[in-house]
Amino acid sequence: QVQLVESGGGLVQAGGSLRLSCAASGLTFSRYGMGWFRQAPGKEREFVATISWSAGATYYAGSVKGRFTISRDNAENMVYLQMNSLKPEDTAVYYCAAGPLPYRSGWSSRNSFDYWGQGTQVTVSS
């Protein structure tokens, strides 16, 4: 049974930082690209960042590029999202996702990801 468990969310002031973690189990980690998505109230779930197995390739949404960094530890089956210079518009539930490589629908499509975590809330106050 595949499980993705996020942690590290919380309340932070604008300009602050948070580091999200995602622990993966029940899957052959080397066969999966990993991604982060987010969903704000009343909005659709949107792509944030993704990383290949080797971590040689990363891809970011334009709204977070230069502020967020995705990384992975393949020995520990972990994925991270370092979020710096946070803005109130970054407030959302953040979801970890796993998709078999190569991605079937591209790097930023939800359709490329088969497994999802339950999400962790990130709230940025102004």
* Residue-level pLDDT at 101: 87
Q: pLDDT value at position 53? A: 83
The percent of residues above 90 in pLDDT, for the chain, comes to 92
Q: For residue range 53-83, what is the model confidence (pLDDT) as tens digits?
A: 876 799 999 999 999 999 999 999 999 999 9
How far is residue 32's CA from residue 65's CA, in Å, rounded to a whole number?
A: 22
Beta bridge partners of 125: 13
The predicted structure's pLDDT at residue 23: 98
Task: Kindly report, residue by residue over 2-32, the tens digit of the pLDDT.
Answer: 999 999 999 999 999 999 999 999 999 988 9
What value, to the nearest 5°, has the Cα angle with vertex 13 and ends 82 and 81?
A: 10
Q: From residue 41, how far is each of 90, 92, 101, 106, 123 by CA, in Å?
A: 11, 7, 30, 25, 12
Query: What share of the chain has pLDDT > 70, as a percent?
Result: 99
Q: What is the mean pLDDT of residues 93-121?
A: 95
pLDDT band at 108 (very low <50, low <70, confident <90, very high): very high
Hey, which bits of the chain come out as E strands?
3-7, 10-13, 18-25, 32-39, 46-51, 58-60, 68-73, 78-83, 92-100, 115-116, 120-125
Average pLDDT, the chain: 96
